[in-house]
Amino acid sequence: MTEKTISDIGEFGLIKLISHDLIYRPEFVKIGPGDDGAVYSIPDGFDQVISTDTMVEGIHFTSVTMSAYDVGWKLCASNFSDMAAMGADPIGFVISAAFPEKLYTSWVERCYEGIRDCCKEYRVNLLGGDMTGSVSGIIMTGTVVGIVPKDTAVRRSGARRGDVVFVTGHPGDSAGGLYALLHENKEYSGLIEKHKHPRPQIEWGTLLREAGASSLNDISDGISREVNEIAEASGVSIKIDKSSIPVSAEALEYGRKAGIDPLSWALDGGEDYELIGTISKEDFEKVKNRPGIKEIGVVTDKPGKGVFLKQEGHLELLEVHGYDHFEK
């Protein structure tokens, strides 16, 4: 049987095909998908948080690195991670998609399976969106709305002298997974899974907000970029101990075999969607014994503004080498 393309069923046929199993927290929804706009409510005593992220074929994914399901999952995960970095709980999601007319409808169905699975796991309502044609590949933009107790959202700009610098998880696994995919090495399936299906650290975001984190950022573009953003926004200097950055055993092994320092994946890779941030020494006591968090540095005012990497007893400026869409 010949597989159908989008042009065979049209825009509204495609919308009908994917419009099912969309609501996972009905208590927030007054009017769901199907009207010109969705209507949702938030509890008293909460602020709303909103963020958006886009995935473009050829930049964020190719058919070599990600399946349709993976694209859908990652679109959600990258957006939900922004909520985690604010200490917020994502509750609603809308998607704007541009598809080539010759794209198989099965690709779109699988993509929305990934979207639904991620929304279901993190209990985020899929409230609708927009769909249009594209002459330059697949483009998908997600916009997420979340809630956080009033006046408690965690910003990048709150780091204070003496604060502990921490990270969650194992930054660099996603970049290692991408390297494995591009080199057709299926041996390192754990790293590949981290790249294809990253986990937004929503629970950690809430725990760290409640513990008193002074700043947070999610690791979408590598530690070097994210920690520099915190230092710049807060007007402080930060010292990072390179030997303290937690690298997974799988990344260490693969890096050794590939002749690559896996710390370069952690510092400059990105798309881990772990959290990096700062917290007072006293407040860090509340979370430091939980598995999955590691102290990697300290906020200071010396030797000057910026981020400095300590390795082998020496300090050197940690320059930003994370991904930049417009950097030549």
Do 117 and 193 lie in a common domain?
no
pLDDT for the residue 27: 96
pLDDT for the residue 277: 98
Residue 1 lies in a domain: no
For 47, counting Cβ atoms within 10 Å of its Cβ (0-12 exposed, 13-18 middle, 19+ buried), the class is middle
Residue 324 lies in a domain: no
Binding residues for substrate: 60, 271, 323
pLDDT for the residue 324: 56
d(CA 245, CA 315): 15
Binding residues for ATP: 112, 129-130, 156, 220
Taking only the tens place, the pLDDT of each residue in 113-139 is: 999 999 999 999 999 999 999 998 999
Tokens of 265: 């994946």
Binding residues: 36, 51-53, 60, 82, 112, 129-130, 156, 218, 220-221, 271, 323
Do 140 and 160 lie in a common domain?
no
pLDDT for the residue 326: 45
Do 271 and 312 lie in a common domain?
yes
Domain limit, last residue, from 117, 149, 181? 149
Taking only the tens place, the pLDDT of each residue in 161-210 is: 999 999 999 999 999 999 999 999 999 999 999 999 999 999 999 999 99
> What is the number of domains present in the chain?
2
Domain limit, last residue, from 103, 127, 149? 149
| Entry field: residues in the chain | 328
Segment (H or E) for 263: helix 262-268
Residue 142 lies in a domain: yes
| Ranges of the chain whose pLDDT falls below 50 | 326
Structural domain that includes position 240? 156-317
pLDDT for the residue 2: 78
Query: 276 and 230 in contact (C-beta within 8 Å)?
Result: yes
